[in-house]
Structure 1
């Protein structure tokens, strides 16, 4: 963007009469280059001048691009226009007719034997441009040529045909002439880079978009896994509710709503009765906060904002995700096979995206904040899932089915079966998903990675507020015995488990807000083009 968004307001014709006085008031000097004499209808004296000389002026609207040539108006058209001007005089200006140069202009005329070229004199103007540089303004060669054409109709308008004007050089220019030849630098002349794994810090906007790209990509992946687990349980029990473990279905469906915060969702019994409709909504409704479609849409917005930071293969992967969702949208509502196929395709795309981010991006400040966003989101999703599913003691068969789905949604089923035989126990699940430092899906693993990511940033001190929050969560986990998390109170609630996962969840949300305020805050006095930075990331949610 060469000109700042909104700078077009400076071309409003109502400003032209004010420029001489503004120049004297602000710069204490007269304008070097005057404008066409203009009269604004909002000033009573100038409105009177417009009325007395209406037929000799060019009348221009201040609220649109409408332009009327006064001398080409019929008496009736002039009277009607003057009535409109008097009704809202501030919407109009009158300008003296500028003195254009005449030049031969070619036009095509349709005749009986086909189109013919006609050459006739026409008024021609040229719009010139300058580029602001540190030392002042540099005029650009050439400009925009404009041919002014008028035609006497009921209410004539000026028609402007525009063409780029190029200034040819006297001598032929070759590519080699465009830049002087510079001999290759010697090894001693090459720039020396600091031996640091962190490159130059990106702008707050870039850091913020990368942070949210990490969060939304992880949120979309976790949501897809949870929807797949819920759909599979729904297929198992919807037509055979007498099977053991069928009571796990409403728990898992409600967990989808609680984790995604897409109320009322499956908390409404009607939606549980026809789960495929609600799942399609969660897959496809872009305007529904917390849905998979919304996360994918926000992830793509963030990706487009930092496209120069991402691998070229990223766009092919994002396109495949879009295709999978479009195929689902075009299928019948109760097409369960297409729902399963689209969920699998979206998950494969998101896994490919995670692989590209892990294997194709340079480890700089932007990457560390992107990974921090991913780790925060994975921790939030995991703690919300455990709170929604393991908060109460259940019958053995129901608890087994719930735990199997939780392990599937957390991508930890295989390792759990390798390490544990027999009935699934909440303590064993907690050991794997909360405390196992070698499990990439475990909460402690996310905190360890967060510590590394934040410690790799240029301003890391080991005692910053984000680093302190992470260390406090790590200490809290180390003080817990997994076996204690199975204990229940008189109402069957696992109080210690809830206090732990809900407390960590709240701390992760606070960490997100602190990271945003610390690393993505804008310099004082800067107003971003997208609006208030506080609104954009209010409460750490976007």
Structure 2
């Protein structure tokens, strides 16, 4: 028997459990597969436990290679989880659900327009005023007759099935509905790991929906804007759904910006772009409304844009979704959805909500107080609030402010099969659906994001397959996508992204150079740790001292020191810290980078994990080598980028860092004479670390002299690893930047460095005074100081963006973007 037949046999067996029965998405009560699963044909019968376990491993690798993470509040970013088995919904069943979802979004839009407009719902008594005014999502600043009405463009609804198989709306997401990026990523991964099943399923592809979404967002711009500028406003890289936000921005082709990248002038929103301002017409908002405008809303916010609410009221910018749309997420609205639908749409509600009672109603309060043990108490606008387990305390809380709470039935959602252990097991599952306003109607996504639940908390996800009724049906029911402008969108990068690109280049080079040093030092350690008094042992001490100088807080044990360097992100200058900073810079400019960048990080992550699992000396070299391969692959990825200011700053950062690391390496290894044999071995190691050993061997037949090493690493204009070559790279890259004139401070400093190299006398540099080489030491000190000033000058001239956001209030300091950056 296959794994699904085993599952069907198991879940239809009688049990002694006291838990309420659940509707099974895969198996009917008689033990047969549901019609949607039956239609998948022979491929389903071939799903074995071994195959599903292999697929699960492949899923983990693909998600890691794509850099997919999710950050729970107060926790570190964690890998995204995806179960191999999809949630499958047949065409006939979806048709009814689709109508209910479209009507629900239309109703939510009508409620939004009414609450910020004529307020018929309040005047007629259909909706108690305290439900609205007691919810923090209602933004009074937007409830003005003169305000420009903004339609609800995007929404999400969380659904669950009851034991009878009927869908119920558990919650609505309208503030900044998230998850559609994760849904698309799930689809991409499942299509790769189960290609035969995916091809034969006859399901709706999701790509046309994203094309239609882009069209709808562009069409939402203020009238008479022929080529609208759209931006995605994000709280930053440490947001819970940072991946989802960057995925949407990259997929739709809109720049990902933070509040500091925007400014309001003369009632309009502008984006800072390399010394100028460019008008913004649409803001796809992923910052909660309360934090969107520190001028009118939360004064301590450093995430929003001062004046954004006023620009929205004037209609000079469209915000998707509008500030104040979060009031629709109020669970206190759920008891009144049917009545509101009758009043505003003049039709019955097709998709019922989870039975809910608002405790501002005295009758509902009295009933709830008598059954606290059998209902769920929720606050209408306190995310994360948990009711007291002491019923007396809970009663006192509810009686004091009843209008701030609702009670709901215990949620019992459906179950489906998920890969668990050596087979599959039933797990509770909920479905998040997405709807957009497309033209004059609302269209749900034929798919969605399913969540595997454990104690009400999402612990994994599933792809959602909506099957076609006929093979010839157009994907997503979209035969044609509304026309979009074919005018070339203006290319622009905000200063924050340019800074991220600069540091991306620097940290990529810093990581590579430290990895090469660790690999060379570890190789010497394997050969000479037991022979400390040999020339090789002396060379090992020199390199260990160099590692300690570049990355302090060494461990007395060489192997422990290497492991710390590769794994400890808190050790200054370590490979692990540089990789973490490199990843942070990549996150900040994710919409500008190829997805192949995250494959490189996936490779380094797996190498680090292998070193954690196998703490043996040979694993240090194995993991460091695999990390180096991953980092080197970034060069291939970035070489394919557009030659825009971001790329030139990336190259500038990489070249400056290469120069800095080279000079530091030479200062630590070549400025002291240690004897002929030790000097020869040290110079061999320096050439290997600098990736110039092969060139030296070809040119000098492996005859190692200090002057030859210095000539190759400092003065050679043809060696990509030489200081002269990297300075020429910096010179070329700086000249291509819009703010360069030929006489700016960074350009002058590059000329000074080149002149310093022109004056260098190799014979003089090699002269010895006692054991020291004072002329070489002086030159390297001068070069290091000038390179450091060059790096600072590039930041000051080319990366000076908006002033640091300041709080308008006296509350919390707000949210800031964490950085690990240094010289």
Task: Tell me the TM-score range normalised by the shorter chain.
Answer: 0.5 to 0.7
The answer to which structure has the higher helix fraction is 1
**Whole-Å separation in 1 of the counterparts to 2:518 and 2:413:** 65
1:296 aligned onto 2:579: yes
**Whole-Å separation in 2 of the counterparts to 1:380 and 1:177:** 55
Aligned to 1:327: 610
1:7 aligned onto 2:280: no
Displacement after TM superposition at 1:523 (Å): 2.3
**Whole-Å separation in 2 of the counterparts to 1:96 and 1:343:** 56
Deviations 1:397-448 (A, max 9, x none): 1111111100000011112122225752222211110111111000111111
State which of 409, 414, 425 in structure 1 corresponds to 2:705. 425
Deviations 1:69-105 (A, max 9, x none): xxxxxxx9678754x799xxxxx7453999xxxxxx9
Displacement after TM superposition at 1:301 (Å): 2.5
Aligned to 1:499: 778
Change (3 A) 1:523 1:494: same
Displacement after TM superposition at 1:536 (Å): 4.4
**Whole-Å separation in 2 of the counterparts to 1:368 and 1:452:** 9
**Whole-Å separation in 2 of the counterparts to 1:343 and 1:108:** 49
**Which gives a bigger RCO, structure 1 or 2 (Cα 8 Å, sep 6+)?**
2
Change (3 A) 1:94 1:275: same
Change (3 A) 1:472 1:337: same
State which of 634, 652, 655 in structure 2 corresponds to 1:372. 652
1:350 aligned onto 2:631: yes
- Give yes or no for contact 2:436–2:442 (8 Å, CA) kept in 1: no
**Whole-Å separation in 2 of the counterparts to 1:506 and 1:530:** 36
TM-score normalised by the chain length of structure 1: 0.65
Deviations 1:352-398 (A, max 9, x none): 2212222x111111000001110011111101100011121111011
**Whole-Å separation in 1 of the counterparts to 2:286 and 2:595:** 29
The answer for unaligned runs of 5 or more in structure 2 is 1-233, 235-283, 298-312, 314-326, 333-359, 369-377, 415-434, 445-473, 808-812
Displacement after TM superposition at 1:230 (Å): 0.7
Change (3 A) 1:447 1:96: closer
For the aligned residue pairs, the C-alpha RMSD in angstroms reads 4.4
> After the TM superposition, which residues 509-524 of structure 1 pair with which residues of structure 2 at under 5 Å, given as runs?
509-524=788-803
- Give yes or no for contact 1:213–1:370 (8 Å, CA) kept in 2: yes
Displacement after TM superposition at 1:350 (Å): 1.9
**SS of the residue aligned with 1:95?**
helix
Aligned to 1:251: 542
Aligned to 2:554: 265
**SS of the residue aligned with 2:659?**
helix
Displacement after TM superposition at 1:493 (Å): 1.8
TM-score normalised by the chain length of structure 2: 0.44
- Give yes or no for contact 1:426–1:485 (8 Å, CA) kept in 2: no
Change (3 A) 1:522 1:488: same
- Give yes or no for contact 1:62–1:93 (8 Å, CA) kept in 2: no
- Give yes or no for contact 2:380–2:404 (8 Å, CA) kept in 1: no
1:403 aligned onto 2:683: yes
State which of 512, 515, 522 in structure 2 corresponds to 1:224. 515
**Whole-Å separation in 2 of the counterparts to 1:54 and 1:288:** 58
Change (3 A) 1:54 1:455: same
Indicate the structure (1 or 2) with the bigger Cα radius of gyration. 1
Displacement after TM superposition at 1:348 (Å): 1.9
1:413 aligned onto 2:704: no
Displacement after TM superposition at 1:286 (Å): 2.1
State which of 422, 426, 437 in structure 1 corresponds to 2:717. 437
Give the number of aligned pairs: 413
Aligned to 1:306: 589
**Whole-Å separation in 2 of the counterparts to 1:483 and 1:369:** 36
